Chain A
């Protein structure tokens, strides 16, 4: 649908608002129930509109969030320029994301509390196990802090208002960190592992050293 049809201005305004908010990032039901209502009502029109931009409107009604993703083109047309940028993730940031995803999955299997909130210390100890030993404790914590900030920029966690030491895992992480992504990560890590340890016996030695 590329030809604009005459709509009444009030709902046009609502459509604009919904699309702009979605382009700016994930929309959560809890954060803005009014906007959420609008988005639910305007679903088909949002879908059509963002399709023009090469995007797919995604909605998880049960979890209460909506977001836009690049449409993977399978029609053989020349690919559109990307509107949603792809971010490069450093190894520790990727690892942190995977670990947070695990925390969320664990919380889901153990009880019905929707919100998963961790102390910064918990995140640090979560990460510490996998990072090289460092004699400078403060630097290690600083580094982990910067990884945390990076994950926050991606929108997978947020710090609680007035309590910067508390970190909430946002549920959208489920949409982005799926089995496919984790599998790719696992594969690449396996490739790297093979690359640095060509023979089996050296790998045994390395493990012994740790």
Chain B
């Protein structure tokens, strides 16, 4: 932590620069509310933007219109810019909408700020115990001597035996409230950190991918040597420390018994009075589902990166890419020299990936163009027999209502004819409504027309005259 490296860190590290940013309170409060509080991994641009717009609106109400002059979209793009690096903006496969994720640096800054404000007390006992547990795990896990392992197992059994004896004697030691609270705090802290780690893990994978690609691009030697260098016997990404620990974590989490254990354990812990007094966030009970979501996202990224990298290393791609870059550079040089006198003629052709099939039969035959007859004389009427109401009393048939009638009729039977629907819900506006029913039926995959049978539909129009329509039978099914 010498002066030079710290001043460089302040200049270059996104986390530090976030803390120095003019709008830091806006950015941090917003990102915390959008990503950290709901344990969200990746958010679509539209949702995030409207959330930010709401916040900006509120802030402008209290701090004046000029407080934050730019639009929400501008801010988001600015924060995702390379020179800021607080958000990662990307287009996931299959979606045309940009998505955002926090960068690990932002997460660090947020986490540090959170540690400034929270924590009612610092539990030291549980942390000391964790240290002992870890020590124990390492010693036991690396012991190769059979006798030493057996000794260890025996001594642990003896300890358990002693405890059983104590419980049988009615001596049950209860963890006191402070110890409970302390452990819960450590539990929830670690659980949240784990969620935060996913971003770092994913970033590490990206970094590994980038390094491999840089090595490939800059490689001058033979292909065989390159493969040896990058892969050795292993997969460039999945077999790193990062890859292995992530896979182990994932397998552990994916086991159904572990998941059940977590669900039940969290539910029980939440019922403890000491824990309740901490007023824990209820969402914490579901944190392992958030882990699953976040882990799956990372899993997908890793799989995609591995696949991409293998493709990039593919013989042809590897050789072509270099050649292509050389050729394009040469091309660009020439194009620049020809800037003032670009070629007018066509130099290049390219085959279209679309077949130009034009069947003669598909071309329309000649038909004389229709000449509309335009009457330009307008006779002025005397308005005596015009009913202007007709303009305003347009009949409106509500398709939704009619569709509702069909559903309603189908509630107690597997199929119903249109006549049955209308019997239950008589036509109110007459023919227009009947036509709408037919239009619904023609678009509905669950409706069929039976040409062989006819049905009569009766209704009464507004003048009180009875009307009858005969139509082919229409059958709606569930």
Contact = CB atoms under 8 A, between A and B. Distances in A.
Q: State whether these chains interact.
A: yes
Interface of A: 23-26, 30, 62-63, 67-70, 83-92, 94-95, 97-99, 101-102, 105, 108-115, 117, 129-132, 154-155, 160-163, 166, 168, 172, 176-179, 181-186, 188-190, 192-193, 196, 203, 206-207, 209-210
A152 B466 CA distance: 61
Given A30-B94, A86-B351, 4 more contacts: A89-B347, A112-B308, A115-B93, A130-B332
A109 B217 contact: yes
Contacts of A91: 342-347
B76 to A, nearest CB: 14
B324 A87 contact: no
B338 A181 contact: no
Contacts of B336: 129-130, 210
15 contacts: A91-B346, A102-B325, A110-B214, A111-B210, A114-B93, A114-B304, A117-B91, A132-B342, A168-B91, A186-B327, A192-B343, A193-B338, A196-B341, A203-B337, A210-B337
B93 A30 contact: yes
B307 A62 contact: yes
Contacts of A84: 351-356
B103 to A, nearest CB: 14
Contacts of B325: 102, 105
A183 to B, nearest CB: 6
A179 B351 contact: no
Contact of B349 (A24, A26, A70, A86): A86
Nearest to A209: B340
Contact of B350 (A30, A181, A183, A207): A181
A182 B347 contact: no
A6 B250 CA distance: 50
Contacts of A105: 321, 324-325, 328
B15 interface: no
A63 B93 CA distance: 13
Contacts of A172: 353
A193 B337 CA distance: 9
A160 B355 contact: no
Contacts of B340: 132, 206, 209-210
A91 B348 CA distance: 7
B91 to A, nearest CB: 5
B312 interface: yes
B321 A109 contact: yes
B93 A111 contact: no
Contacts of A115: 91, 93
Interface of A, helix, strand, loop or mixed by DSSP: mixed
A90 B352 contact: no
Contacts of B323: 179
A164 to B, nearest CB: 11
Contacts of A161: 96
Interface string B346-381: 111111111111000000000000000000000000
B320 interface: yes
Interface residues of B, number: 56
Interface string B208-252: 011001101100000000000000000000000000000000000
B377 to A, nearest CB: 45
A184 B348 contact: yes
Interface string B141-159: 0000000000000000000
A58 to B, nearest CB: 9
A131 B339 contact: yes
B349 A160 contact: no
Given A112-B209, A189-B347, A193-B337, A68 B355 contact: yes
Contacts of B347: 89, 91, 94, 185, 188-189, 192
A27 to B, nearest CB: 10
Interface string B106-145: 0000000000000000000000000000000000000000
A161 B210 CA distance: 30
A186 B334 contact: yes
A81 B317 CA distance: 32
A186 B340 CA distance: 18
Contacts of B307: 62
A99 B329 CA distance: 10
A30 B96 CA distance: 12
Given A83-B356, A112-B308, A179-B323, A70 B351 contact: yes
Interface string B297-314: 000000011011111101
Nearest to A102: B328
B213 A110 contact: yes
Nearest to B312: A108
B334 A190 contact: yes
A86 B346 CA distance: 13
A24 B355 contact: yes
The list of the 10 closest CB pairs from A to B, nearest first, reads: A182-B327, A23-B355, A160-B96, A112-B305, A94-B348, A112-B308, A62-B311, A85-B356, A130-B335, A179-B323
Given A91-B342, A130-B339, A154-B352, A101 B309 contact: no
B206 interface: yes
B214 A109 contact: yes
Interface string B170-210: 00000000000000000000000000000000000010011
B346 A88 contact: yes
B348 A69 contact: no
Given A112-B206, A186-B331, A25 B351 contact: no
